[in-house]
Amino acid sequence: MYAERGRPSYPPSLMLQVTLLSFHDKASDPEAEQRCRYDLRWKYALRLRVDQDGPDESTICRFRARLIEAGT
């Protein structure tokens, strides 16, 4: 019923891994989105299938904002 509506959800563990990889590689949010989509090294590290897209830049940004808001 809801298969084609809205954005897919991502587990917090994946979002944290994306955040850590982008910090390690000094990648901006748009660059992190592109690397999640096209860089096989990031896909392997994030355990994403080759045909699977990662989170988009706004999802990454919102996740980081929620981390900061929570004080973690």
pLDDT at 6 over 80: no
* Alpha helix positions (H), 12-56: 12-24, 29-38, 40-46
Query: What is the reported pTM?
Result: 0.84
The type of residue at 45 is A
What's the CA gap between 35 and 38, in Å, rounded?
5
Residue 44, φ and ψ in degrees, nearest 5: -65, -45
pLDDT at 72 over 80: no
14-57: pLDDT as tens digits: 999 999 999 999 999 999 999 999 999 999 999 999 999 899 99
* pLDDT higher at 7 or 42: 42
Predicted confidence at residue 25, as pLDDT, reads 95
